[in-house]
Structure 1
Amino acid sequence: MRTALALFTSDLRLHDNPVLHTALRTSDRVVPLFVLDTGIARAGFAAPRRAAFLAGCLADLDEGLRARGGRLVLREGDVVEEVCRVAAEAGAGEVHVAAGASGYAQLREARLRSALGAGGRRLTVHDAVVTVVAPGGVVPAGKDHFAVFTPYFRRWSAQRPRSMPAAPRRVDVPGVPGLPPPVVTAPPGLPKGGEREGRRRLAAWLRGGLARYAELHDDLAADATSRLSPYLHFGCLSPAEVVARARGAGGPGADAFVRQLAWRDFHHQVLAAVPGAAGRDYRARGDRWRRDADEAGAWREGRTGYPVIDAAMRQLAHEGWMHNRARLLTASFLTKTLGHDWREGARHFLDLLVDGDVADNQLNWQWVAGTGTDTRPNRILNPLVQARRFDPDGAYVRRWVPELAGVPGRAVHEPWRLDGARRPRYPAPVVDLAEAAARFRAARGLGGG
């Protein structure tokens, strides 16, 4: 009787999971395994909110497997040691796993291949499970990855979709011991984890918000984005299925939404080719970043004196999530207005974001800081201009900055201009925008203009 091991990583789902599907198709029994990898904490990527969301994902996955006669085998420790131990206990000759993009995932794969091979076992790595198109699936002539999004998107869009297997009807699991399913204690503001919740949200999004996504996706107060990013990060949703279903709906909203999923794949293919970009400049600009603990603290705590920035940072602290436009604004403010290192901001985001993904987070931060793939690396997003454009009546600011709830109209974006009793108790701006812009341009050798 052939036994295989399906190692879950960032693919915590039963629908369209080539890892589990192939293991079931080629074996008589399968051990669905997830390892609470202690190396994640040592590498600095553990975060309480993601751990809480992950607990919900694992509990949901276990329930789904039990409904099919199986169960999730949960272990904790070094992922390679635990995989080898479970494979030996179950008599598994093959281990299936999804390919990852990060340097950590690539090292994990190499270690697994070596350790399993030494024991006479085989590792099978499946591409295009975490992404729509595998990181190396499309490349420019003579290079290992695209460094500019637009040509990548053209090639990405032309790829034929792969087959998407249905969820299995039955999973036969040998008697291998494991930890009990995790207890889910979600903090306030945290969404419910798991495939069932992800699929429910996807269906609701396709029925409702998708049609107006092109029109409203930058509107901060409308909160009209899909909020599916945590489910994509943990693989509760198949990105290939999400793209297919969005394309099936059609329309400008679907086109704009699919483009954002292509950006996700774009960042994964950059990181897969250049793993060091998680911590080093993709394109060095010779920056000498400033260090100011008071400024950094004001940015983190949402008290910079610029209401749209403070609203976004307070939303992040409460929900573990932030609107994409707000992510761009807060990142530009830290790096180009305050002149702080992008790594400082990326670390804070990874500490709090439920959808905190190394590829998307680090490379978006680099894009904004001008050290990444942006073809206009010196652009500065003015928070006042952006606030007037994307939160014109101040509804987003009032939602998250209660001190400004009584300030009328657009005055909410510049409360320091109010006089006397009309002026709210709110911090003065930590920096003058014009002076900060001139400082940044001078630091980049662009002159004062």
Structure 2
Amino acid sequence: MNVSVVLFTSDLRLHDHPPLRAASAGGRAVVPLFVRDRAVDAAGFAAPNRLAFLADCLRDLDAGLRERGGRLVVRSGDVVEEVCRVAGEAGADEVHLAADVSRYAQRREERLRHALEAAGVRLRVHDAVTSAVAPGAVAPAGSDHFAVFTPYFRRWTRERQRDVLGAPRVVRVPDGVGSERLPVDEGVSQGLAAGGEREGRARLAAWLRRGISAYEDRHDDLAGDATSRLSPHLHFGTLSPVELVRRARRTGGAGAEAFVRQLAWRDFHRQVLAARPHAADADYRPRHDRWRTERTAHGDIEAWREGRTGYPVVDAAMRQLRHEGWMHNRGRLLTASFLTKTLYVDWRIGARHFLDLLVDGDVANNQLNWQWVAGTGTDTRPNRVLNPLTQARRFDPDGAYVRRWVPELAGIEGPAVHQPWKLRGADRGAVGYPEPVIELSEGLARFREARGLG
């Protein structure tokens, strides 16, 4: 019997899964395998919120496979060792894997290829599984990647995407391959969303019916919560980015076009990281910053993490992050700008905190978005500063978002909630809300001096 192994990583679905389709071609038996990678745990990337979401995804994937006559095999340990062990137990002659972009994923793939070749097993790596357009599929003349989004997006839009694949009807898993129990994990955020392909597809269907048409006009509305909230499902691969682009384009309209543009931003960051893996922890474009560190800015950093900076819209976003393991995209931009440019703290400190809590914590998107805001990444205006008061007036004009997440200020009506320091007398003390950690003008002056802007 011909047997293939499919190594699931960040592609935890049955619909539109090229490795699974190729592995089962011609009626081959398949071992669907997920390895709980101890190296990820050791590196501190296995955050509780993502582990809880992952547990949902694995249970749902196993249930979907069992409906088709199969099952998920779960192992723990070194990925290369476990894949080789399972291939040997099953008598497999090939292993299928989705391509990934991080430095660790690239090294893992290289190690796996060498180990499997030594055992006489072929490794087949599939592109455009975790991205709509594979990194490297489009590149400018004279370079291996695009460093600016707009020209990338023009080429990305013209690129022909592969067809969307249906879920398999039957999955035949050979006998004799043992599995650990499916994990059961709990997150730290009370409002953490549920994971799994079924949940992801239900959210997608609802989004296409009721949300996407207004996305162009409302995606920055903090209180309106009018974004798709599909990012965790993209991160874990319970939804296919190829399918999302196809279905959004089929829906049509300005909202769908704006949504597709955001999916292109995700692919843009992935092709940057694939070409420049060091950008996960080093400046993509150094600005010679002398950032404040944990030691020199400890109090300010803790106030930012806890949502007690004294700037309500910043604090609201940080408290949403802690409660849900997720944050509105506009909130991500303004909180990152506040940390890196108003407080002038190293972007890596903020990126690490986000990765500790975000259920969609993705190395490419998280690190490169932080660098974009910090001005060390691909932003063509590296010295822009997002003023939190201006941002609040534009994207939370009546203060509903702030009142939702900062209960101390719930009694302040209208836009006055954004400047509680202007309250008088007893009213000011009664709210129990901190004074601003810094004057905005002071932070701006420090940043401009540090960047040599006069």
TM-score, normalising length from structure 2? Answer: 0.97
State the 1:425 CA deviation: 1.8
Residue of structure 1 equivalent to 2:370: 365
In structure 1, how many angstroms separate the alpha carbons of the residues matched to 2:288 and 2:417?
37
The residue number in structure 1 matching 2:441 is: 434
Q: What residue is the counterpart of 1:280 in the other structure?
A: 282
1:419 to 390, 399, 424: 424
- Aligned counterparts, 1:201-240, within 5 A: 201-240=203-242
Alignment of 1:311-350 (within 5 A): 311-350=316-355
- Counterpart CA distance in 1 for 2:185 and 2:245 is 30
Q: Shift of residue 98 of structure 1?
A: 0.3
**Shift, 1:181, TM fit:** 2.0
Give the aligned partner of residue 310 of structure 1: 315
Q: Who is 2:10 aligned against?
A: 10
Q: What secondary structure, in the 3-state scheme, does the structure 1 residue paired with 2:123 have?
A: strand
Looking at structure 1, the residues matched to 75 and 406 of structure 2 have their Cα atoms a distance apart, in angstroms, of: 43
Q: Tell me how far 1:409 sits from its aligned partner.
A: 1.1
Deviation at 1:45, TM superposition (A): 1.2
- State which of 252, 262, 268 in structure 2 corresponds to 1:266: 268
Shift of 1:27: 5.5
In structure 2, how many angstroms separate the alpha carbons of the residues matched to 1:224 and 1:20?
34
For 1:7 and 1:290, locate their aligned partners in 2 and report how far apart those are by CA, in whole Å: 42
Whole-Å separation in 2 of the counterparts to 1:264 and 1:314? 25
1:45-56 residue pairs with structure 2 within 5 A?
Answer: 45-56=45-56
Matching of residue 97 in structure 1 with residue 97 in structure 2: yes
Separation (CA, whole Å) in 2 of partners of 1:55 and 1:189: 16
Partner of 2:408: 403
CA RMSD of aligned residues (A): 0.8
How far 1:161 sits from its partner (Å)? Answer: 1.9
Give, as a single letter, the amino acid of the residue that structure 2 aligns with 1:318: H
Shift of 1:185: 4.4
AA aligned opposite 1:180: R
CA displacement at 1:290 relative to structure 2 = 1.1
Contact 2:292 2:346 in 1 (8 A): yes
One-letter amino acid of the structure 2 residue matched with residue 57 of structure 1? C
Specify the code of the residue in structure 2 equivalent to 1:214: E
Deviations 1:130-182 (A, max 9, x none): 00000011000010000000000000000112012110000000121001222
Deviation at 1:184, TM superposition (A): 5.5
Paired residues in the alignment total 447
By how many angstroms is 1:362 displaced?
A: 0.1
Number of the residue aligned with 1:181:
182
SS in structure 1 of the partner of residue 24 of structure 2:
helix
Equivalent position of 2:148 in the other structure = 148
Secondary structure, in 3 states, of the residue corresponding to 1:108?
helix
| Cα separation, 2, equivalents of 1:373 and 1:158 | 22
Q: Aligned partners of 2:70, 2:399: CA distance in 1, in Å?
A: 51
Q: Which amino acid aligns with 1:194?
A: G
Tell me how far apart the structure 2 counterparts of residues 182 and 399 of structure 1 sit (CA, whole Å): 34
Instruction: Tell me the distance in 2 between the aligned counterparts of 1:404 and 1:410.
Output: 11
Q: Hey, what's the Cα distance between the residues in 1 that align with 2:273 and 2:391?
A: 29
Deviation, structure 1 residue 270: 0.1
1:353 equivalent to 2:358? Answer: yes
Distance in 2, matches of 1:281 and 1:300, equals 22
SS of alignment partner, residue 208 of structure 1: helix
Q: 1:421 Cα shift?
A: 2.2
Superimposed CA distance per residue, residues 181-229 of structure 1 (whole angstroms, 9 cap, x where no aligned partner): 2235455211111000000000000000100000000000000000000
CA distance, structure 2, for counterparts of residue 354 and residue 50 of structure 1: 5
Decide which moves more: 133-142 or 38-47: 38-47
Whether the 8 Å CA contact 2:52–2:184 is kept in 1: the answer is no
Superposed structure 1 runs of 4+ greater than 6 Å apart:
none
Does structure 2 conserve the Cα–Cα contact (< 8 Å) formed by 1:4 and 1:27? no
Q: 2:369, 2:306 → 1: CA distance? A: 21
**How far 1:26 sits from its partner (Å)?**
4.9
Q: Distance in 1 between matches of 2:451 and 2:265?
A: 27
Distance across 2 between alignment mates of 1:229 and 1:401: 25
The partner residue of 2:302 within 297, 320, 324 is 297
1:104-137: CA deviation from partner (whole Å, max 9, x where unpaired): 1101100000100111111000001000000011
What CA deviation, in whole Å up to 9, does each residue of 1:260-309 have, x standing for no partner?
00000000000000000000000000000013100000000000000000
Hey, what's the Cα distance between the residues in 1 that align with 2:351 and 2:290?
A: 17
Larger deviation: 38-47 or 152-161?
Answer: 38-47
**Residue 42 (structure 2) aligns with:** 42
Aligned mates of 2:180, 2:233 — CA distance in 1: 24
Partner Cα separation in structure 2 for residue 90 and residue 188 of structure 1: 41
Q: What is the CA–CA distance in structure 1 between the aligned matches of 2:368 and 2:358, rounded to whole Å?
A: 15
CA offsets 1:321-359 (integer angstroms, 9 cap, x no match): 000000000000000000000000000000000000000
Query: C-alpha displacement at 1:380, in angstroms?
Result: 0.2
SS of structure 1 residue aligned to 2:137:
coil
2:47 maps to amino acid: A
> Matches of 2:107 and 2:44 in 1, distance apart?
16
Superposed displacement of residue 316, structure 1: 0.3
**Gaps (5+ residues) in structure 2?**
none
Q: What secondary structure is seen at the aligned counterpart in 1 of 2:6?
A: strand
- Structure 1 position 16, deviation (Å): 0.2
Q: Is the 8 A contact 1:328 1:368 kept in 2?
A: yes
1:33 is paired with a residue of what secondary structure? strand
Correspondence for 1:68: 68
Q: In structure 1, what residue type is equivalent to 2:169? A: R
196-205 vs 20-29, which moves further: 20-29
